[in-house]
Amino acid sequence: MKILYRTKEEANEEQEKAFLALSPEERFLSFLSLSRKILKLPVNRTNKKQSHSSDFVIHLYDAK
Write the pLDDT tens digit of every residue in 30-55: 999 999 999 888 887 666 565 556 67
Integer CA distances (angstroms), 19 to 22, 31, 34, 48, in order: 6, 10, 13, 39
Supply the pLDDT for residue 50.
57
pLDDT band at 11 (very low <50, low <70, confident <90, very high): very high
Distance in angstroms (rounded) separating the CA atoms of residues 53 and 50: 10
Q: Provide the pLDDT for residue 44.
A: 74
For position 60, what pLDDT does the model report?
A: 78
* The predicted structure's pLDDT at residue 47: 60
